[in-house]
Amino acid sequence: QQQVKQSPQSLIVQKGGISIINCAYENTAFDYFPWYQQFPGKGPALLIAIRPDVSEKKEGRFTISFNKSAKQFSLHIMDSQPGDSATYFCAAYSSSNTGKLIFGQGTTLQVKP
Amino acid sequence: DVKVTQSSRYLVKRTGEKVFLECVQDMDHENMFWYRQDPGLGLRLIYFSYDVKMKEKGDIPEGYSVSREKKERFSLILESASTNQTSMYLCASSSVPNTEAFFGQGTRLTVV
């Protein structure tokens, strides 16, 4: 019930294309859904996050779509660039669970020039 | 600039050794975490601490223990290192109610 399932494991997209990464969860107590971006040799860093009271959040080329009834959320990267090549993790958090942050399995994105 | 610092980037230890991984944060955060990162498995929570001397097991605590004697420092201990503990270890911290977690750069541990 604490799991967050992420797909695909890897993704190759041409420059200018749209990258889409999907996540699903079971625990309805989750109330904060962040996405983290990790470059090689670095720790993950927060990219964008959403709370379940909205269905979409956009920051520049990055958009989270959230479907509360389906318990799914996804990251869309518009106009993907080679600099977006990284590993992306979705995560979920429950404010009733003393700050425990649960991560998905990760998606390695490669954007080809 | 916020900072989470892990004491080593790379470590090589022998099977059976006791290993200490240290993490320090300078943001006065209440929460600190240790994750293990393996390809295809994502970030798996080993332990986390929500206050000094308070700890809670994560998803994979077996073979590990932790210590948090001061708010800024969270240590991960491998009591008797084994080859299946070869991995990347990531420390993170966050503050309630702001839930953004800040990560260190990781420690790549190899147990031989």
Q: What is the number of domains present in chain A?
A: 1
- Chain B residues with CB under 8 Å of A49 CB are 99-100
Domain boundaries, chain B: 4-111
pLDDT in tens, A16-64: 999 999 999 998 889 899 999 999 989 999 999 999 899 999 999 999 9
pLDDT in tens, B58-88: 989 999 999 999 999 999 999 999 999 999 9
Tell me whether residue A45 is exposed, middle or buried, using C-beta atoms within 10 angstroms of its C-beta: 0 to 12, 13 to 18, 19 or more. middle
| pLDDT over 90, % of chain B | 79
| Chain B residue with Cα closest to A51 | B99
Residue A2: predicted pLDDT = 66
| pLDDT over 90, % of chain A | 81
**Interchain proximity B42–A41, CB inside 8 Å:** no
Fold of B4-111: Immunoglobulin-like (2.60.40)
Nearest to A99 among B4, B44, B96 (CB): B96
Residue A100: predicted pLDDT = 75
CATH number at residue A41: 2.60.40.10
Domain that includes residue A76, residue range: 4-112
- Compute the distance between CA of residue B89 and CA of residue B34 in angstroms, rounded to an integer: 7
